[in-house]
């Protein structure tokens, strides 16, 4: 992961953290606790704010972190760990942002319509 991507990922993480401090926004702990509920709702098809494809990308990110096969091997000092760190930061950022949207969806009474859906 190059420096620009690392800075962008860190900036995204900071932006998500800042969102948790705004009035009325779900706090960080509330978002973390909502992740299992969100995953269940996505898999059941109840929550349409996250697609199965996005969930699949998150799963692939987790597999990449756990896998011994990497784009940049860990035996290279510092650089080998940076790619895993970047993927982990991206994974956490995406989960926390999606969980915030999920909590807002829950607070709104769990509507079945998502903005952008076509209604007959």
Confidence of residue 68 (pLDDT cuts 50, 70, 90): confident
C-alpha distance from residue 67 to each of 3, 18, 61, 64 (Å):
23, 31, 10, 5
Q: How many domains does the chain have?
A: 1
19 lies in some domain? no
Matching residue, tokens 């494809």: 53
Q: How far apart are CA 96 and CA 92, in angstroms?
A: 6
69 lies in some domain? yes
Strand ranges inside the chain, DSSP E: none
pLDDT of residue 27: 83
Range of the domain at 45: 29-107
75 lies in some domain? yes
Q: How far apart are CA 9 and CA 14, in angstroms?
A: 9
pLDDT of residue 65: 83
pLDDT of residue 81: 74
CB-side neighbour CA atoms (13 Å) of 4: 0
- Per-residue pLDDT tens over the stretch 69-96: 776 666 676 776 777 788 888 888 889 8
4 lies in some domain? no
State the pTM of this model: 0.69
């Amino acid at each position: 992961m190059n420096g620009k991507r690392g800075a962008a990922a860190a900036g995204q993480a900071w932006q998500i953290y800042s969102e948790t401090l705004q009035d009325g926004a779900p706090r960080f702990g509330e978002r973390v606790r909502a992740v299992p509920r969100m995953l269940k709702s996505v898999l059941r098809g109840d929550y349409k704010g996250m697609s199965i494809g996005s969930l699949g990308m998150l799963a692939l990110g987790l597999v990449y972190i756990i896998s011994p096969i990497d784009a940049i091997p860990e035996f290279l000092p510092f650089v080998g760990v940076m790619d895993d760190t970047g993927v982990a930061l991206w994974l956490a950022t995406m989960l926390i942002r999606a969980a915030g949207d999920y909590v807002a969806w829950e607070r709104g009474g769990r509507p079945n319509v998502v903005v952008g859906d076509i209604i007959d």
